[in-house]
Structure 1
Amino acid sequence: MTDSAPKRRRSLASIATIVAIATLISKVAGLVRQQAIAAEFGVGPEVDAYNFAYVIPSFLFILLGGVNGPFHSSVVSVLAKHPKKDAAALIETVNTLVGILLLLLTAGLILTADPLITMLAPGVSTGVHTMAVEQLRIMAPLAFLSGLIGIGFGTLVASDQYWLPSISPLLSSVTVIIGVLFLTDRVGASVMAWGTLAGGLLQWLAQIPAQWGSGMGTLRLRFDFNRPGVKEIGKLMAPATLSSGMLLISVAISLFFASQLPEGSASALTYAQLLFLTPLGILSNVILVPYMPIFSQLAAPESWTDLKDRIRQSLVLTAMSMMPTGALMSVLALPAVQIVYQRGAFDNSASQLVASLLVVYAFGMFFYLGRDIFVRVFYALGDGNVPLLISLLGLFFNAIFCFFFTKTFGAPGLAMATVGVQVFSMVALVWILNKRLHGLPWVATGGPILALAISSLLCGFTAWVTLYGCQMLLGTEGIIRQLVTLGVSAGAGLLVFAGLVIQLKLPEMDFFVDRLRQKLPFLPRKS
Structure 2
Amino acid sequence: MAESEKRQVARAVGIVGAATLLSRVLGFVRDAVIAAFFGASMAADAFFVAFRIPNLMRRLLAEGSLSMAFVPVFNAIMEKEGRAEAYKFARSAFRILALILLFITVMGVLAAPFLVQVIAPGFADTPEKMGLTVLLTRITFPYVFFICLVALTMGMLNSLGHFAVPALSPVVLNVAMIASVWILASRLDPAVTALAIGVLGGGVLQLAMQLPVLWRRGFRFRAPAPWMHPGVRRVGKLMLPTVFGAAVYQVSIVIGTLLASFLESGSVSYLYYADRLVQFPLAIFGISAATAVLPTLSRQAASGRMEDLEDTFGEALRWMLFINLPAMVGLVVLAHPLVALLFQRGAFDAASVAGTATALVYYSVGLWAFACVRIVISVFYAMQDTRTPVIMGALSLGAAVLFSLLLMHPMSYGGLALATSLGSMVNFGLLSWVLSRKVPGLFSLKTLASAGLSLLNSGIMGVMVYLADRVVAANMGEGSAAMGVRVLVGMAVGMGIYTALSVMMKSPELAMALRWIRRRKK
Please tell me whether the aligned partners of residues 296 and 381 of structure 1 are also in contact (alpha carbons under 8 angstroms).
no
Residue in 2 that maps onto 1:69: 67
Q: Deviations over 1:155-203 (max 9, x none)?
A: 5556665433222221111110011122112221111111100111122
In structure 2, the CA distance between the partners of 1:126 and 1:226, relative to structure 1 (3 Å rule), is same
Residue in 2 that maps onto 1:406: 408
In structure 2, the CA distance between the partners of 1:396 and 1:17, relative to structure 1 (3 Å rule), is closer
Residue in 1 that maps onto 2:102: 103
Separation in structure 2 between the aligned mates of residue 136 and residue 402 of structure 1, nearest angstrom: 25
Q: Deviations over 1:76-97 (max 9, x none)?
A: 4377366666677665554443
Separation in structure 2 between the aligned mates of residue 71 and residue 430 of structure 1, nearest angstrom: 20
In structure 2, the CA distance between the partners of 1:519 and 1:206, relative to structure 1 (3 Å rule), is same
Residue in 1 that maps onto 2:185: 184
Separation in structure 1 between the aligned mates of residue 317 and residue 5 of structure 2, nearest angstrom: 31
Of 322, 326, 329, which aligns to 1:327?
329
Pairing 1:267-416 to 2, within 5 Å after superposition: 267-284=269-286, 320-372=322-374, 374-375=376-377, 384-416=386-418
Residue in 1 that maps onto 2:468: 466
In structure 2, the CA distance between the partners of 1:100 and 1:261, relative to structure 1 (3 Å rule), is same
Which amino acid in 2 is paired with 1:165?
A: P
Q: Does 1:241 align with 2:243?
A: yes
**CA deviation after TM superposition for structure 1 residue 41, in Å:** 1.0
Please tell me whether the aligned partners of residues 112 and 138 of structure 2 are also in contact (alpha carbons under 8 angstroms).
yes
Of 215, 220, 223, which aligns to 1:217?
220
Separation in structure 1 between the aligned mates of residue 471 and residue 196 of structure 2, nearest angstrom: 44
Please tell me whether the aligned partners of residues 38 and 346 of structure 1 are also in contact (alpha carbons under 8 angstroms).
yes
Structure 1 stretch 395-404 or stretch 469-478: which is displaced more? 469-478
In structure 2, the CA distance between the partners of 1:364 and 1:90, relative to structure 1 (3 Å rule), is closer
Number of residues paired by the alignment? Answer: 512
Which amino acid in 2 is paired with 1:110?
A: V
SS at match of 1:393: helix
**CA deviation after TM superposition for structure 1 residue 436, in Å:** 6.3
Separation in structure 2 between the aligned mates of residue 203 and residue 430 of structure 1, nearest angstrom: 35
Structure 1 stretch 468-477 or stretch 180-189: which is displaced more? 468-477
Residue in 2 that maps onto 1:149: 150
SS at match of 2:265: coil
In structure 2, the CA distance between the partners of 1:16 and 1:445, relative to structure 1 (3 Å rule), is closer
In structure 2, the CA distance between the partners of 1:254 and 1:300, relative to structure 1 (3 Å rule), is same
Separation in structure 2 between the aligned mates of residue 310 and residue 144 of structure 1, nearest angstrom: 33
Which amino acid in 1 is paired with 2:256?
A: S
Which amino acid in 1 is paired with 2:27?
A: G
**CA deviation after TM superposition for structure 1 residue 7, in Å:** 9.6
SS at match of 1:217: coil
Of 507, 512, 516, which aligns to 1:515?
512
Separation in structure 1 between the aligned mates of residue 218 and residue 438 of structure 2, nearest angstrom: 47
Residue in 1 that maps onto 2:257: 255
Separation in structure 2 between the aligned mates of residue 394 and residue 518 of structure 1, nearest angstrom: 38
Structure 1 stretch 235-244 or stretch 142-151: which is displaced more? 235-244
Pairing 1:107-122 to 2, within 5 Å after superposition: 107-122=106-121
Q: Deviations over 1:247-277 (max 9, x none)?
A: 5533321211111111221222121122122
Residue in 1 that maps onto 2:136: 135
**CA deviation after TM superposition for structure 1 residue 216, in Å:** 2.5
Of 407, 415, 427, which aligns to 1:425?
427
In structure 2, the CA distance between the partners of 1:349 and 1:99, relative to structure 1 (3 Å rule), is same
Separation in structure 1 between the aligned mates of residue 208 and residue 225 of structure 2, nearest angstrom: 22
Separation in structure 2 between the aligned mates of residue 194 and residue 322 of structure 1, nearest angstrom: 34
Structure 1 stretch 99-108 or stretch 283-292: which is displaced more? 283-292
Residue in 2 that maps onto 1:199: 202
SS at match of 2:121: coil
Please tell me whether the aligned partners of residues 337 and 354 of structure 1 are also in contact (alpha carbons under 8 angstroms).
yes
Q: Deviations over 1:306-331 (max 9, x none)?
A: 969986x8777655443333222211
Residue in 2 that maps onto 1:174: 175
Structure 1 stretch 90-99 or stretch 31-40: which is displaced more? 90-99
SS at match of 1:459: helix
**CA deviation after TM superposition for structure 1 residue 281, in Å:** 3.6
Of 19, 27, 31, which aligns to 2:24?
27
Q: Deviations over 1:133-152 (max 9, x none)?
A: 11111122223223332333
Separation in structure 2 between the aligned mates of residue 224 and residue 410 of structure 1, nearest angstrom: 54
Over the matched positions of the two proteins, sequence identity in percent amounts to 26
In structure 2, the CA distance between the partners of 1:323 and 1:211, relative to structure 1 (3 Å rule), is closer
Please tell me whether the aligned partners of residues 286 and 519 of structure 1 are also in contact (alpha carbons under 8 angstroms).
no
Which amino acid in 2 is paired with 1:39?
A: A
**CA deviation after TM superposition for structure 1 residue 44, in Å:** 1.6
In structure 2, the CA distance between the partners of 1:73 and 1:453, relative to structure 1 (3 Å rule), is closer
The structure whose Rg is larger is 1
Of 445, 455, 458, which aligns to 1:456?
458
Q: Does 1:48 align with 2:45?
A: yes
SS at match of 1:69: helix
RMSD: 4.3
Structure 1 stretch 484-493 or stretch 35-44: which is displaced more? 484-493
Q: Deviations over 1:74-129 (max 9, x none)?
A: 68437736666667766555444322222221111111110111111111232222
SS at match of 1:54: helix
In structure 2, the CA distance between the partners of 1:207 and 1:523, relative to structure 1 (3 Å rule), is closer
Please tell me whether the aligned partners of residues 113 and 133 of structure 1 are also in contact (alpha carbons under 8 angstroms).
yes
TM-score after normalising by structure 1:
0.81
TM-score after normalising by structure 2:
0.82
SS at match of 2:464: helix
**CA deviation after TM superposition for structure 1 residue 241, in Å:** 3.4
Please tell me whether the aligned partners of residues 327 and 457 of structure 1 are also in contact (alpha carbons under 8 angstroms).
yes
Please tell me whether the aligned partners of residues 103 and 144 of structure 1 are also in contact (alpha carbons under 8 angstroms).
yes
Of 55, 60, 75, which aligns to 1:58?
55
Separation in structure 2 between the aligned mates of residue 476 and residue 106 of structure 1, nearest angstrom: 47
Residue in 2 that maps onto 1:126: 127
**CA deviation after TM superposition for structure 1 residue 43, in Å:** 1.6
Separation in structure 2 between the aligned mates of residue 165 and residue 430 of structure 1, nearest angstrom: 29
Structure 1 stretch 321-330 or stretch 260-269: which is displaced more? 321-330
Please tell me whether the aligned partners of residues 36 and 346 of structure 2 are also in contact (alpha carbons under 8 angstroms).
yes
Q: Which runs of 5+ in 2 are unaligned?
A: none
Please tell me whether the aligned partners of residues 79 and 158 of structure 1 are also in contact (alpha carbons under 8 angstroms).
no
Q: Deviations over 1:264-302 (max 9, x none)?
A: 2122212112212222343447986679859978x9999
Please tell me whether the aligned partners of residues 173 and 199 of structure 2 are also in contact (alpha carbons under 8 angstroms).
yes
Separation in structure 2 between the aligned mates of residue 287 and residue 201 of structure 1, nearest angstrom: 26
Residue in 2 that maps onto 1:488: 489
Please tell me whether the aligned partners of residues 49 and 133 of structure 2 are also in contact (alpha carbons under 8 angstroms).
yes
Q: Say which structure, 1 or 2, has more relative contact order (CA 8 Å, 6+ apart).
A: 2
Which amino acid in 2 is paired with 1:202?
A: L
